[in-house]
Amino acid sequence: MPMKAIDLHKEFPTISQADFNFLLCNLKHCNPGQVSLNQSLNSAEVTTMQEWLGRLLGGDPPQYVVHTAWFFSMELYVDPRVLIPRYDTEVLVDALLPYLVPKAKVLEIGVGSGAISLALKKSRADLQIFATDIDGGALDVARKNSIRLQLPIYLVQADLFPASEGDFDLIVSNPPYISPEEYLELESTVRDKEPKIALLAADKGFAFFKRILDKAPQYLKAGGILAFEHGNKQQSALQNLTESAGFRLLQKGRDLAGRDRFLIVKLK
């Protein structure tokens, strides 16, 4: 039966206001900042919301329920084949833009949903962006988003680096960096629902950083830039690794909560 959104939310008191509003906005195709809980829902809308809210009670992240995540003012398609983009990563994208020369050639390692590459392309149409992922399902999602948003990028299935060496101005990666010990402590909605392949890394979370640092100089132009998102306790150790690999620090960065979150370095 028809009812007001606010009354429907009362039937699901354990669902946060933010998650309820997120679902409601997807149902009503409204801006999250303009959602009204006093609006009426027809019977079909009530049924849909009840189904979605039930999935939230079962532990599904709201982004997977409606196959939507927002990043850099872009509406991205997401499903359990890819990690849900985090707003914290937008800070890294913003930090990278001033370093990019006109028509820069960019490589993203581990593209996932395409969030970083597509945000860079949206900001700078002149960029030539290549993006890799080892998982074919993730590449399907990134391709879907590239087409939907009309932001062309080159997608390649590869274990980190493409087969042929390149001359990139920038390599950027938000690789798996959660250690096995930390993985067990993640919230269940992350640990049980998001792809393990996109989260877990051996060697105390540093395995992928080390593999990328080992080959990055072969793919970068002289003076090329390498950027990593990393765990909030990894920055100092990762900086030491980059210096040992022949890079010098350009910028350290923090996320929206003020936690250490990214490094930008330059090939010496």
User: Where exactly are the structural domains of the chain?
Assistant: 3-58, 80-267
pLDDT at 191: 96
What CATH number belongs to 80-267? 3.40.50.150
Q: How confident is the model at residue 268 (pLDDT cuts 50, 70, 90)?
A: very high
192-229 pLDDT per residue, tens: 999 999 999 999 999 999 999 999 999 999 999 999 99
**Average pLDDT taken over every residue of the chain:** 97
pLDDT at 33 over 80: no
In DSSP notation, 94-148 reads HHHGGGPPTT-EEEEES-TTSHHHHHHHHH-TT-EEEEEES-HHHHHHHHHHHHH
**Rounded Cα gap, residues 227 and 151, in angstroms:** 22
For residue 122, list its beta bridge partners.
Answer: none
For the chain, give the number of residues: 268
pLDDT at 242 over 80: yes
Looking at residue 211, the DSSP 8-state letter turns out to be: H
